[in-house]
Amino acid sequence: MRRGSCNGFSAPVQGARAPGVASVRVCRSTLIAYPRTMSGMASRTERIEARIDPDSAERIRYASALEHTSVSGFMVAAAAEKAERVIAEHACTLVPGDYFDRLLEILDQPAEPVPELAAVARREREQPRFRRA
């Protein structure tokens, strides 16, 4: 059985599910490119501001002191970490295992020809409406 990976979560991709697996994540690949400078560090040219309540500000200052980092650096790291989690959550869909098995079963079946679609494809090959560049 092949296995797929979704942000560290491994799931069966083909064949029977592993014993005890109730659901499977269906994922799409996501490539995110971040701009880098010659030194390898991201250039810091953007600015984001936020208004927060005094209690939250104090907790953030305290946490950044515990991490021995600046408040700004702490907030940027926390926001970037949250952004990666949100992006990862949206790149995967959790489906019940039986649904996933049925989907794979249907996809493994040979395609049934659709005469209308075949006619359109044939007509386009014979008399293309658009030229390829």
The residue range of the domain holding 62 is 3-126
Per residue in 56-68, pLDDT (tens digit) is 999 999 999 999 9
Asked if residue 33 belongs to a domain, the reply is: yes
Asked if residue 52 belongs to a domain, the reply is: yes
Q: What is the pLDDT of residue 22?
A: 56
Indicate whether 43 pLDDT > 90.
no
Residues contacting residue 97 through CB under 8 Å, at least 6 positions apart: 17, 21, 22, 23, 24
Asked if residue 32 belongs to a domain, the reply is: yes
Q: State both tokens at 71.
A: 């408040």
Asked if residue 119 belongs to a domain, the reply is: yes
Asked if residue 132 belongs to a domain, the reply is: no
Asked if residue 113 belongs to a domain, the reply is: yes
Number of domains in the chain: 1
- CB 1 within 8 Å of CB 12: yes
Asked if residue 133 belongs to a domain, the reply is: no
Per residue in 7-31, pLDDT (tens digit) is 444 444 444 445 555 555 556 554 4
Residues contacting residue 79 through CB under 8 Å, at least 6 positions apart: 48
Which of 9, 2, 1 has its CA nearest to residue 93? 9
